[in-house]
Structure 1
Amino acid sequence: MRRRGLRTGLAALTGAALLASCGLTSGSPLVDNVKPGSIGRGEPLKGAHLVITSKNFSENIILGEMIGLAFKAAGASVLDRTNITGSIGAREAVKSGQADAMYEYTGTAWITYLGHTEPIKDPQEQWQAVHDEDLKHGLTWLPPSTLDNTYSLAISQRNNAKYHLKTLSDVAALAKKDPKAVTLCVENEFASRQDGLPGMTKAYGMDIPSSRIQKMDAGIVYTQVNKSGSCLLGEVYTTDGRIKSMNLTVMEDDKGFFPNYNAAPSVYSKAIKKYPAIAGLLNPISAKLTTAVAQELNAKVDVDGQDPHDVAKDWLIKEGFIKEG
C-alpha cells in the first residue's frame, strides 16, 4: 500500500532509483472521449498537457484515473503514468515534476516522507500539517476526502469462532497466552515500516516471533487468511472491498496506533500555479470520496475483476462529474 519506514534523505535517493526503474519516460495517453458534467465546464484546461500517476494498488490506481479523466473532460491532453511500484516512486514523480498530480494519503506523508514519528489524531489537523510542510517540497495538497485507508489485522469468521478476537489488544493477549496460536500474513512494506508491523507490535506489546510472520504480496494475504488457514490473521486495508466479500472480521485499533490515512490530491505546485482550475476540478470529487465508496469501488476491481480505469470512469459519470463525449 503506502506507508512508512524511510527518512527524507534516503527516500530521495530511493525515489530517484525507483523513477529510473519504473520507466517514467513511458506512459499511455488517455483517449477517452469525455466531456464536462458538473466539473470542467468551459474546458479550463484546454491546451494543457498533464501527467497523472499513482501507486500500484487498486484503490490508488482508481483515484489516479479519476484525476486523469477530470483533466481530460476539462480539455487537457493527459498522459497516464499510474501504477508505479511503491509509495516513494510515485511521490517522487510528482515532486520532481515528472507527473503533475496523484492521490496521496495524509498519514503516509506525515510519517513516511516527512519523518515524523507521532501522528496527529484530528484528520483535518493532520492534513493541514502535511499541506503546510509539503509546500516547501514543491507540492500542493488539495482538501482531503473522508476516505481513510488505514491498516488493521483481520481474521476469518471461521477461525474467530474459536478465539472471539475483536481488538488488537485481544490479539496481543492471545499471543501472550498461546504463542503458537498467532500467525500473521503481511506484505513486505508493512513489515518494515514504523507505522506498520514494528510500531504496532511495540504499541500493543505483541510478542510474535519472526518465524510466525509470513511476508507476501498484499493480495495473497487475503486468500491466505480467508481460505488456506496458513495465517490466523492478516494485514488488511480498511477500504479493501475483499473484507466484506470474504466476511473477514477486522480488529479494532483500540489504542489508536495507526494514523489517519485520508486520501487527498497531491499536485506539483508549478502545475497548479499555471492551471489553478485544477483545484475546482478535484475538490468536488474528493468531497464525494468516503471509506464506504472506496470499499465499493475497490471490490469492483479486486473481487469482480474490472479494470480500474473503467471503475473510475463509471463512477465519475454516475456521480455526474463528467459525461461520455
Structure 2
Amino acid sequence: MKLNRTLGVLSAAALALSLAACGGDPTDTSSGSDSGSTSSSKSIVVGSAAFGESEILAEVYAQALKAKGVDASTKLDIGAREAYIGAIKDGTIDLIPEYTGNLLLYFDQNATATAPADVESALQGALPDGLAVLDPAPGEDKDSLNVTSEFAQKNGVASIADLAKIKGLKVAANPEFKTRAYGLPGMDKIYGIKDVSFTAISDGGGPATLKALTSGQVDVADIYSTTPSITQNKLVTLEDPKNLIAAQNVVPLIRDDAQSDEVKSTLAAVSEKLTTDALLELNTAFAADSKPTAADVAKDWLQKNGLV
C-alpha cells in the first residue's frame, strides 16, 4: 500500500536529524533511554477492540515485539470497529488484531469472497491507502456449526455436508441466522440441507444456546469457533469444505509507516502459531477462575511457544 505519512511526521523526522548530535530523538514518545533499538525507530501502539480475545491478541503482538527490541505499548478496549479503524487511520494506534472476513466487509460491503485465500486477496484490494495487512494466522474466530460428540457418533456426522441426511434437523442460532447467506439459506443452497426447524436464541452462541444443544433440544448450534465451551463440553465443530461461512482469519492490521522488517518478521512468527486451537487455549485461560489479565495470558502463551 502507499505510504501515508503526514507533514507533521516528516517535519519531526527532519528535526530528529538536526538534533542527532545531541543524542535525543524528539519523535520518541517513550520515557527513558532506548536500549533495545532495532531497524524500526518508530514506537508501536497496539490497539484492541472491546472484547477479551482482541485484548489478548493485542498483548501477544506487543509483548512479542518488545522481546525483539521494538518499543511497543498497548491501548486496549477502544471500542467497536468504527472506533478503532478511526484510531488507526489518525495514528492514535499503529497496529491492531483483526479478522479477514469482517474487515473485508467493512471496507467493501458488496464483497462475496468466502474462501480464505479469496478473502485475503479481496481484502488487499479493499484497504485504503496508508493501511496494510500482514501475514494472516491459520486460526479463525467465526460462526461455526457444532454438535455434541454423542450426536456426531450416532449419526456419522463430521461435516456440514453430512447434515443433509438428517431428517427433521433442529438448529439453534442468533435470529439473523434464519435469513443470512451463511445461515439457513446457505445450508440449503450450498449443502442441500432442507428439512430444518429453527430455534432463535439471542445470546451469540452463549449459555442458552449451549444448553439447548447439550440438553438435546436442538441437534446443531451456531457457536463462535474460539468459545471455550466448545472444548469444555467436548463439542464437535463441523467441517465446512464448501466455505458456507466466510473465512475470519486473525490478521495484523497495521499502518504503512509502522512497518519494518523486524515488525513484519516478528508478527509473522506469531501468526504462524495462532491456530484456532491456540485461540481456544488463550480464551479458555482468560476465562479461568483465577481471573488472569490479558497480559498474563499472552505472556504464558508466548513463553510456551518460544516467542519470547
TM-score strictly above 0.5: yes
2:277 counterpart of 1:292: yes
CA separation of 1:83/1:249 partners in 2, compared to 1, >3 Å: closer, same or farther?
Answer: farther
User: Distance between the aligned counterparts of 2:226 and 2:149, measured in 1?
Assistant: 19
Tell me the CA shift for residue 66 of structure 1: 1.2
Match of 2:14 in 1: none
SS at match of 2:306: coil
User: Distance between the aligned counterparts of 2:95 and 2:178, measured in 1?
Assistant: 28
Q: TM-score, normalised by structure 1?
A: 0.67
2:172 counterpart of 1:184: yes
Contact 2:205 2:224 in 1 (8 A): no
User: Distance between the aligned counterparts of 2:109 and 2:51, measured in 1?
Assistant: 23
Contact 2:58 2:96 in 1 (8 A): yes
2:76 counterpart of 1:81: yes
Contact 2:97 2:252 in 1 (8 A): yes
- What is the aligned residue count? 273
Higher Cα Rg, which structure? 2
Match of 1:131 in 2: 124
Contact 1:150 1:260 in 2 (8 A): yes
Moved more, 231-240 or 241-250: 231-240
Tell me the CA shift for residue 198 of structure 1: 5.5
CA separation of 1:220/1:94 partners in 2, compared to 1, >3 Å: closer, same or farther?
Answer: farther
Please report the RMSD computed on the Cα atoms of aligned residues, expressed in angstroms.
Answer: 3.7
Contact 1:45 1:71 in 2 (8 A): no
Instruction: Identify the match of residue 157 of structure 1 among 149, 152, 169.
Output: 149
Q: TM-score, normalised by structure 2?
A: 0.70
Match of 1:101 in 2: 95
User: Distance between the aligned counterparts of 1:219 and 1:148, measured in 2?
Assistant: 18
CA separation of 1:265/1:193 partners in 2, compared to 1, >3 Å: closer, same or farther?
Answer: farther
Instruction: Identify the match of residue 70 of structure 1 among 39, 61, 64.
Output: 64
Contact 1:185 1:215 in 2 (8 A): yes
User: Distance between the aligned counterparts of 1:120 and 1:217, measured in 2?
Assistant: 21
Tell me the CA shift for residue 263 of structure 1: 1.7
2:295 counterpart of 1:309: yes
| Unmatched tracts of structure 1, length 5 or more | 1-30
Contact 1:154 1:233 in 2 (8 A): yes
Instruction: Identify the match of residue 222 of structure 2 among 235, 238, 254.
Output: 235
User: Distance between the aligned counterparts of 1:128 and 1:140, measured in 2?
Assistant: 12
Tell me the CA shift for residue 248 of structure 1: 0.7
Tell me the CA shift for residue 142 of structure 1: 0.8
Match of 2:253 in 1: 266
CA separation of 1:220/1:295 partners in 2, compared to 1, >3 Å: closer, same or farther?
Answer: same
2:99 counterpart of 1:114: no
Contact 2:172 2:209 in 1 (8 A): no
User: Distance between the aligned counterparts of 2:188 and 2:90, measured in 1?
Assistant: 35
CA separation of 1:185/1:128 partners in 2, compared to 1, >3 Å: closer, same or farther?
Answer: closer
Match of 1:7 in 2: none
Tell me the CA shift for residue 202 of structure 1: 4.9
